[in-house]
Structure 1
Amino acid sequence: MELLPAKVALVLVHGIDSGADAWDRMIALVRDDPDIHPWVQIENFVYPTGKLEWRPARTFPDIASVADSLRGRIERSLPAGMPIVFAAHSQGGLIVQRFLVQQLEAGRGVELRRVKSVLMFATPNLGSDYLEFLRRVARKLVDNAQEAELRLATREVVETLSKVTNRMVHAREVTATTVPIRFEAYAGLSDNIVKPHSARAVFGSGGSIPGDHSEIIRPTSRDSDAYQILRQALDPVVTESEKPITELRDPGTGRSGVTIGDTGRPLDIALDIANALARVETLQEFNGRNAFKQHFPPYIRNGLSFALGSTAVSDLGQLVRACIVYEDDGRAQLIEAITSWLEQREPAVQRALELIRRVWPEGLRKGDSHPPA
């Protein structure tokens, strides 16, 4: 039994007048948790923010601009299709919502299937009236586009919240402009900046947990409410990524096969392809297989464990099964590595490519049965 080298991206988004260190305690607990750390890629998104910007040549970007910057960070840092769990604090929750709405309005609902959940801690979904008098005075001196959207019931925030509710929270199908996404909204029991009615707003999932506006995302141990909430969001995704690959034999034919996860449906293409690749002269040697592995992106190769003395079929079976996890993207990576690195004039290489194209057509999903030969 082997574990798949799949990962989950935990994307952290801080609030106004904050920064990357807001998540230090949460990150430390994740990295110290052996059950999830090997599977989690942490992306701590940082953007310009503050209370006041006195320099006339500089300004703080508005929420829409920060949301677009978040899109760029995700596209640059995460492989296509990698599952994502968002954890956002305060204004960070508004940024994540705006990012998701922007993607839906661009017709990218299908791509957002990778977003497994959005956790919002002390997010002012209905605005905040904290220190409103002083904020009004400050507005007369210096404008802050971020603070403007934290006021009570601003048009941009209300419109975004409505789209999130209708197109994501209550969505029943994946289309270009709708996608079901689980949102959880949490209020701090001692938070006097974002009151519970604003933090919880229209979201049915969530609740109130210990802490003030800052403490709510600074858990002191794995038993802290905030960390337990994060674990509960990551666990189902990690479990899916950890689904073991088990070698099976068809009792009728005696043919070996592969079942991914608990689908119970044989997917024997991995073994077929591994056997075909094992006939390639270069891949019959350990050093050749190890060099071949390096032509795959980290999210595929990092979980592989080729060892001296292992068979070619065993090593290449690991590699092919890792590619299968990423479906069409994994198929493309496998074909690219074969065509760019192996000797194309060798008949075994061409037979392997022909087999891949025949038994693993584009669009085949992990739980699908082996297509007819």
Structure 2
Amino acid sequence: MSEGTTRLGVVFIHGLFSSEATWDPFAQLLESDEELAASIMVRRFGYASPKFRSLRPDRRTPDYNDLAERLKAFLFYEASEHDRLVLVAHSQGGLIVQRYLARMISEGRGQELAKIRSVLLFACPNDGSDFLLSLRSVWLSKHPQVRALKPLDPGVKDAQRTVLNKIVQAAPGTAEPSSCHIPFWVFGGLQDNIVVRASAEGVFPNVSMLPGDHSTVIQPASHQAPAYLALRKHLRDAQQHEEPVAPTTMAPVPAPAEPPPAPWGDSAKAARILDVLPPYADWLKTLRTQDFFVVSGRINRLFHEAADAFKIDRLEFIDAELRGAATACRSTVMELSEAMIDLLFADRIDTQAAEKLPVEEQEDAWTFVLREHQRGKDELRLHTLRDAFFEAYDTLLRLLNERLFVPEQTVTTTSSSTPATVADPRAVPDAADQQLRVGQGLARHERELSAAYGQLRTAGLGAPTSEAYLSGATAVQHFAAAAGSGPGWVLSLRKGRAVAVSEPLWAALEDAGRPSGDGDPLAAVGYPTTAGTDPKVLDPDVPRVALDGGNWGPGLLVFTDHGWRWEPQVALDFNQTRSATNWTATQPAPQLRIRAVVTLPWDTAPDSVTTTHRRDLTGQLPFSPLAGAVTTLSLRRAADLPAAHWILGPHRNALDSLSYSADIAAPDGQPALTAAVMASLPGAKQPTVTCAEFLIQNSAAWAALLPTGTSTNLALEEVESLLLAAWETAADLLPAATCDVATMRWASAPTVELRLSTEGPHDQPRAHLGALIDLSELGPTDRSSLPEMAVTITVSPMLERTERQQLLQRALVYMLQGFGFVEADDRLFT
């Protein structure tokens, strides 16, 4: 340090409902650190944060603005002896720090911040917290500090934007009235469910995860604890950092040749619009182009952030024409935002799927869908409001371009609300002498992209052909081939993992996800990923590519005889499909139903079930795997009862559906066993669904057809054989009656649902599965009533028989264990 500089001051700021004592573990470790103790002074900033309202009418709980002003006074008076400061905040304390910094910038006092060398945020809810949100809304609704912790609070986001633009992203060494560079270091807790990683990260580029939950993340037990090591490193960095120009220096500063526009002029207003509604944004493109108004949580969140910004900042331009266009755009934003809140709600059917996502993606994983009431009318209203917004937005962009208020890379849009109006993020500015650099356009990821490029350059990557851009949470940049011939490359960076993908392979990936219909194919199928952390190269000859992060779930890009297609990675769960109980309304109800339901979300819906296809199907059904399995059941019981005669019904047959069944009846005509197949082509937002099932209609009638004393209870191996046969019939035989399966592509993940259920008269209790299936070898279960079991497999249903049988056995063990038979294992089927 320079002469006269006092010890580095470390200012600790606690969180909600906490106190200065929360920092005791850090303070004690610093005091006992031989290298730091003599050169560092601990300062603790305390403030009132009561859990309950004061009973005294003359007292109130301070809000964030009050606390920001108190922190300003604390640093000015009580920490004035320090020439260098490091601010360390926990939870809500981080929001107080940001509010303080933003207010200092807005007051033109950025130079006074130069002594702050870094800010460390531990478990700070930068995007708010959903934890116990409903209870907080009821019990703590009037607490000014708690209110600001709701997700995406406008005041918090405004301060955050200022801090990001004027402090974090300011040029190093900057200490001016309107900006001051201060690095931010963000830390989240691995077990923190109060502030999840996505919220802890917010908009800040430097984020790390530490062991601990919301409280223990700032309670290091030793000098080797990760949290203490992180703090120690940044304190040492602050000590060694070069001295800035003294903020108190009053010497005149030479004026620049061309003074920048006034901070509140039309240029600044244009920048604020483009900040919340950027023309290149993938989410805005998706909102513009999707066919059906089903939006992701991320798109919904970002659009409402833009609406919140318009509510706060009316953007009254000096230019009259711009003022009118901005007012019209603001009005359409407000109308569409309010309609989305009114007509959309979060679909939480896929909760388990969301829980499998990385923490940083969970908060945006929900899908917002239309309510059921007046669906057509509501959807039309949303489409109309969306088109009105984009018409006003495009008009405003055109005017901003004409006044040169839009950055050069922004392509002028037209007033037509079509996909063509969105600027391609890969577009290169039309300048012959411009030399793009690796990572240009994404300062946050430039270093990582450059490092990956350096490692992969020998694989054939040439010069950049586009600026880097964000596709979802993935940084992407396009490159030419090194030799100047052949296909180029796409370098993608996701979760710190870099993969160079051949352009043809990248195009195949985009083509595979295009059936999603939402304008963002990569958001559907995901992005290439590889094992390990080192950068990898994927050339056009690889047969399959693992994908990560898609809305369709984990999957693979697989090369087949008919080209590339997306296939899901195998997953097991207990989520019931929408078609699970289709075709179950017949009366009288069977005693036992064993079925396989296959959901086939093809990219192109088959037109109809043709007469030729029906004729072929009816010729094959007597020889189908399902017919064979049903016949074998009786042969094993010394009775020849083939499922050979198939007839129409009992369910609907039409151009868009089919239903056939084969009955085995007792001598008195009473149905004993039934094999049945059904299929339906897509309806409104419904995929193709096929089903094959075996029914014990009446076990007594079946017993009458068997040798005296023969048991009609099914063994587990017979259940396995029936499910396998039903799956084969539903997945291989029935789809061929509707389309050419080999050439079809998916529009989302296909599933196979295997179900066992006892049924019967609606006014009587359903029997236990053990009454009709021998479950004795499974051991005990804790279920007193077990009328059904089911498991859903996310998988491409068309498999080789051996692969299908192995997966079936795995799924059955998973199902049995999930329904209480915890002793079940793979040995059941060996």
Same fold (TM over 0.5): yes
Q: Provide Cα deviations, 1:38-94, integer angstroms capped at 9, x if missing partner.
A: 111211000000222141423210011011101111111123661110000000000
* 1:283 aligned partner: none
Matched residues in 1 for 2:157 and 2:240: separation? Answer: 36
Q: Alpha carbons of 1:75 and 1:25: their partners in 2 closer, same or farther (altered >3 Å)?
A: same
SS in 1 for 2:43: strand
Q: Is the 8 A contact 1:81 1:326 kept in 2?
A: no
SS in 2 for 1:156: helix
Matched residues in 2 for 1:171 and 1:328: separation? Answer: 16
Deviation at 1:133? 1.6
Matched residues in 1 for 2:247 and 2:121: separation? Answer: 32
* 1:163 aligned partner: 162
Q: Tell me whether 1:154 sits opposite 2:153 in the alignment.
A: yes
Q: Which of the pair has the greater relative contact order for Cα pairs under 8 Å at 6+ separation?
A: 1
Matched residues in 1 for 2:198 and 2:145: separation? Answer: 21
Q: Alpha carbons of 1:160 and 1:137: their partners in 2 closer, same or farther (altered >3 Å)?
A: same
- The number of equivalent residue pairs is 247
* 1:215 aligned partner: 216
* 2:192 aligned partner: 191
Matched residues in 2 for 1:18 and 1:105: separation? Answer: 29
Matched residues in 1 for 2:60 and 2:223: separation? Answer: 38
SS in 2 for 1:186: strand
Question: Aligned ranges for residues 217-366 of structure 1 at < 5 Å?
Answer: 217-239=218-240
SS in 1 for 2:234: helix
Deviation at 1:237? 2.5
* 1:254 aligned partner: none
Q: Provide Cα deviations, 1:79-130, integer angstroms capped at 9, x if missing partner.
A: 3661110000000000011111111111111111111100000000000011
Matched residues in 2 for 1:174 and 1:328: separation? Answer: 7
Q: Alpha carbons of 1:167 and 1:327: their partners in 2 closer, same or farther (altered >3 Å)?
A: closer
Q: Is the 8 A contact 1:8 1:39 kept in 2?
A: yes
Deviation at 1:328? 9.7
Q: Is the 8 A contact 1:81 1:111 kept in 2?
A: no
Matched residues in 2 for 1:163 and 1:326: separation? Answer: 23
Q: Is the 8 A contact 1:119 1:183 kept in 2?
A: yes
Letter of the structure 2 residue corresponding to residue 78 of structure 1: A
Matched residues in 1 for 2:40 and 2:221: separation? Answer: 20
Deviation at 1:152? 0.7
Matched residues in 2 for 1:54 and 1:113: separation? Answer: 38
Superposition RMSD in Å? 2.5
Q: Is the 8 A contact 2:6 2:81 kept in 1?
A: no
* 1:7 aligned partner: 7
What 5-or-longer segments of structure 2 have no aligned partner? 252-830
Q: Tell me whether 1:25 sits opposite 2:28 in the alignment.
A: no
Which has more radius of gyration? 2
Q: Provide Cα deviations, 1:279-323, integer angstroms capped at 9, x if missing partner.
A: xxxxxxxxxxxxxxxxxxxxxxxxxxxxxxxxxxxxxxxxxxxxx
Deviation at 1:33? 0.7
Deviation at 1:139? 3.7
Report which of the two has the higher share of strand.
Answer: 2
Letter of the structure 1 residue corresponding to residue 182 of structure 2: I
* 1:63 aligned partner: 64
Q: Is the 8 A contact 1:128 1:152 kept in 2?
A: yes
Q: Provide Cα deviations, 1:119-158, integer angstroms capped at 9, x if missing partner.
A: 0000000000111121122146xx1000010011111001
Matched residues in 2 for 1:192 and 1:169: separation? Answer: 27
**Percent of aligned pairs sharing the same letter:** 32
Deviation at 1:34? 1.5
Q: Provide Cα deviations, 1:229-276, integer angstroms capped at 9, x if missing partner.
A: 1111110232459xxxxxxxxxxxxxxxxxxx9xxxxxxxxxxxxxxx
SS in 1 for 2:38: helix
Q: Is the 8 A contact 1:171 1:179 kept in 2?
A: yes
Q: Is the 8 A contact 1:120 1:183 kept in 2?
A: yes
SS in 2 for 1:88: strand
Matched residues in 1 for 2:109 and 2:168: separation? Answer: 16
* 1:202 aligned partner: 203
Q: Is the 8 A contact 1:12 1:86 kept in 2?
A: yes
Letter of the structure 2 residue corresponding to residue 169 of structure 1: V
Q: TM-score, normalised by structure 2?
A: 0.29
What 5-or-longer segments of structure 1 have no aligned partner? 242-260, 262-324, 330-360, 364-373
SS in 1 for 2:114: helix
Q: Is the 8 A contact 2:111 2:247 kept in 1?
A: no
* 2:46 aligned partner: 46
Q: Is the 8 A contact 1:59 1:144 kept in 2?
A: no
Matched residues in 2 for 1:181 and 1:327: separation? Answer: 15
Q: Is the 8 A contact 2:9 2:82 kept in 1?
A: no
Matched residues in 1 for 2:17 and 2:212: separation? Answer: 19
Q: Is the 8 A contact 1:7 1:238 kept in 2?
A: no
Report which of the two has the higher share of helix.
Answer: 1
* 2:35 aligned partner: 35
